[in-house]
Chain A
Amino acid sequence: MSIPRTDALSRLQDTGRFALELEAVSRHFGALVALADINLTVRAGERRAVLGSNGAGKTTLFNAITGDFPPTTGSVRLFGEVVTDLPCQERIRRGLRRTYQVSLLFNGLSVIDNIYLACRGVSRGRFSLRRPRWDDSAMQAAEVLLAAVHLDDVREAQVAALSHGQQRQLEMALALAGAPRLILFDEPAAGLSPTERSELVEILQSLPDHIAYIIIEHDMDVALRVAQSVTMLHNGRIFKEGTPEEIENDSTVQELYLGRRDG
C-alpha cells in the first residue's frame, strides 16, 4: 500500500524522529514474563500490524506503550521524547491514542457526549463548569467525527443501547479524536459483520497519512490490507518482522500462527 507524502507527514518525518521507539522493553507479572526485551520502532505515518497467537503479549505491548501497565524495564519514546515514567494521560496529550479489545465506553452517556469528552480530553477546559455550546471547538470537532464514523443516526442514544458494531465504531471515534499522531488499534474488527469490516478497512485506509498506527488483528484479511509492515510476537518476544508478503510466505510463521498446511 503506497501512502502519499503530505505536508504534515513531511514535517513529522523531517524532524528525523520516530513516532515510537521501544528499547529493551520487558513486562513481568510476578514470575510470568509477558514481554521480554522488545525493541521496536515505528516511523511517523507508518502503519504496522502486530500479529501473534493468544497470550503472545500483544495487548501487554499496547499497555506498556500507553502506560496502563508501565514496562518493568526498558524505555518508551514518543516522537523523540522519553515517556517511560509519564502517566497515561500525559502520553495521550502527546498524540498517542488507543482502542481496546473489549469496548471501554461511557455507557451512561450519549454517543455525542462520549465523542465530545474524547475531543475535550486533549484540549483546554477539561475542568470547565459551563455547558459546552454548539460553537465550542471541541463540540464542533465531535460533530465532524460523529459523521465520519457514521453514527449520526444515534447521536443522542445512550451508549449502553447501541449494537456491538456501533460500539466498535464509537470506540474508533474516541481514538480518532483530538489530532492523534500514533494510534494503537486493539482488534478493532472483533465481532464485526463482513460489511462492518469493509467499513472499518475503509476508515483505516482513509486516515490522514501523517497518522501512524499499530494494529492488532486476528483477521488476516483486515491486518494485511491496512498494514505496511508486520511484527510477529511469540511468547512475549519479537519473532519476526517484515512486509505483509514476507510474513505471509514465511513457513515458520505459517506453522506458528496460520496453521500447518497438511498434504
Chain B
Amino acid sequence: MDARRLFSGSVSLADLRPATVVTVGLLLVYPAVATDFFIFQIGAYSLILGTIALSLMMLGGYGGMVSLAQLTVAGFAGYLTAILGDNSVGVMGLGWPWWLTIFTAVLGAALFSAVIGAISARTEGIYTIMITLAIAVAFFFFVRQNYALYNGFTGYAGVMPPTLLGINWRDPAPFYYLSLAVAGGFFCAVLYGSRATFGLSLQAIRDNPRRMRALGYNVTLHRIVAYFLAGLIAGSAGVLMVWFNGRISPGSIGVGVVIDILVIAVVGGMRHPIGPFVGAIAFVLLENFAIDLIDRERFNTVIGLAFLLIVLFSPDGLLGLWSQMRSKIRLGKDARASAGRAERDDRHSAGSPKGTYKGT
C-alpha cells in the first residue's frame, strides 16, 4: 500500500501490506521470545538510537539539513531530566514531578534545537555540518567544564524512570515497550508529516530554497520550525537514553557518539523514516557482537569499514540496497514472464497465417 494513503484516513486496516503487519507483530511479540539482553541492550537501545537518528533523517532527508547536533539535543534533554528530576550524585536533582520533568526536558531540548536551527539555517551543505559539529563540540566541552549545573566530568548517575501503575519501567520488557511506543509514535508522525503541508514545503526547500522564497515562504523560519520539531523527537529519545543508561556524562555526548548518529542514519538510509531504525539495529548488533570477531579496540574500524562498503555500493544506505535487490528481482520476474509470453506467441504464430509476417 502506498505510504501516502496510510495516514490520509481514506484506508482501512485491511489495506495494510502483509510485510507491515508482520513487522508490527514481530516487534510486539519480541519480548516474549527474546532474552533480557536482547530485549534491553539490543531492542530498546536500537529503538532509542533509531529515534535520535530519525530526527536527523527528518532534517537531512526531508529538509536537506544534515545536523550533527541531534545527539547533543538528546543529551540536553537527558541532562535536564537529571537536573530537574532525581539523581544519586547529590548535585542539583531538583525533585520535580516526573511529568513536569519530562515535559520541560523535551520542550527545553526542542527550544535548544530551534536555537541551533536559527544559528545554522542560513547555511547549506557542508557548512551546516561544520556549524552543527562546532555546536556539538562546544556543548561537550561546556558540560565537561561546568560543575555547578552539569557536574563536569562526572555528570549524573542514578537517573531512573518513575514507577507507575505498579510497573518498574526500567525492567527490560516495560522499557522496551515504552521505547517502542515513543519510536513508533514518532515514526508514524514523521511518515504522516512527510505528506502534510509543512512536510511538503520542507522537501521543496531541500530541492530549491530560492524558488520557495519566490512562492512566498519564509525559508529560514521553516527551517527553524523543522529544527524545533526534530528537537521534540531527539529530546524524547534523550529522556529514554538517560533512563536506559541510568546516567549521563560528557562522554555520552562526545564527538564519537555524535558521529555515530550520522553513521546510523546514512547506513540505514535517509529517504524513508524506517531507514534510521534499520541503521540503528545494524549498528547496535555490530557494536555488541563485533568483539566476538575482533578486538574491542578495533570496533570503530569494523563500523568504519561497514560504513564505507554500504556507502560505496549504495549511497541510499541499506534501504537503497533493499530497493536495488527488489528491482532486480522484479526485473528478473518480468524478463522471465516476457520470455514465457514470447515463447507462447511463437508457438501460437507458428501455426497461424500471421506468423509469416513476423520479422518482415
Q: A residues bordering B, Cβ < 8 Å?
A: 66, 68, 87-89, 92-93, 97-98, 100, 104-109, 113-114, 116-118, 120-122, 125-132, 174, 177-178
Contact = CB atoms under 8 A, between A and B. Distances in A.
Interface string B219-244: 10010010000000000000000000
B193 interface: yes
B215 A92 contact: yes
Given A92-B214, A127-B225, 16 more contacts: A89-B213, A89-B217, A89-B219, A97-B214, A100-B211, A107-B208, A108-B206, A109-B207, A113-B204, A116-B200, A117-B201, A118-B215, A126-B222, A131-B192, A132-B196, A178-B216
B300 interface: no
Contact of A108 (B8, B207, B214): B207
Contacts of B23: none
B217 A126 contact: yes
B225 A113 contact: no
B207 A106 contact: yes
A47 to B, nearest CB: 20
B196 A117 contact: no
Contacts of A68: 210, 213-214
B327 interface: no
Contact of B197 (A97, A108, A125): A125
Contacts of A127: 197-198, 222, 225
Contacts of A113: 200, 204
B203 interface: yes
A129 B193 contact: yes
A109 B211 contact: no
A130 B196 contact: yes
A87 B201 CA distance: 18
B98 interface: no
Interface of B: 7-8, 192-193, 195-201, 203-204, 206-208, 210-219, 222, 225
B200 A117 contact: yes
A128 B208 contact: no
Contacts of A121: 212, 215-217
27 contacts: A68-B210, A88-B213, A89-B213, A92-B214, A92-B216, A97-B214, A98-B214, A104-B214, A105-B211, A109-B204, A109-B207, A113-B204, A117-B200, A117-B201, A117-B204, A120-B197, A121-B212, A121-B216, A121-B217, A122-B215, A126-B198, A129-B193, A129-B198, A131-B8, A131-B196, A132-B196, A132-B197
Nearest to A174: B215
B220 to A, nearest CB: 9
Contact of B7 (A93, A116, A131, A177): A131
A69 to B, nearest CB: 11
B63 to A, nearest CB: 12
A129 B196 contact: yes
